[in-house]
Amino acid sequence: MLSKQMPTDSYERDIYFAQLMNSRKKVERDAYVEVKEDQVESGAVCCMMDAAWVLQWWAFVEEEMGSNAIPPPGPISNHRLVSRETGLAYPGLLRKHYRCVSEATWRVLHGKYGGGPLVRRASNSCSIYSAE
């Protein structure tokens, strides 16, 4: 359990912040529905997330506890996935460009990091991703 009062000694303060970051990583991992294709039911609407942001987040939460060398990602940025003119997802996006997550997963991550925009896509029985 972390104390409510911040330590004054620099070494103890470093340990305190490392414990806070480890706790944050654990909470995020536990609250997150893992980003995988099979998490979105066929026929459901999924939320698209920029693959680069997802990979940065995943590296942060999966980093060895106590290391804290990888900073948490900034706000979710899906701007590369949508047209500025129409606000719709670009046609022909490939799996390397985005990951699909359930709406519940989107809400967890968006609630923590903010950003956007929210980009929805209908999944189908074949695949929620375009051909590679």
In a domain, 45, yes or no: yes
In a domain, 24, yes or no: yes
The pLDDT value recorded for residue 41 is 65
CA distances from 123 to 20, 36, 44, 56, 70 (A): 38, 13, 6, 24, 33
Full residue range of the structural domain in which residue 94 is found: 10-122
The pLDDT value recorded for residue 63 is 79
Sequential pLDDT tens for the chain (132 residues): 454 666 677 888 777 877 888 888 887 877 665 544 445 666 677 888 999 999 999 888 887 766 767 888 999 999 999 988 887 888 777 778 888 888 888 888 999 999 999 998 876 534 445 544
- Domain containing 92 — which CATH number? 3.30.2230.10
Q: What is the tally of structural domains in the chain?
A: 1
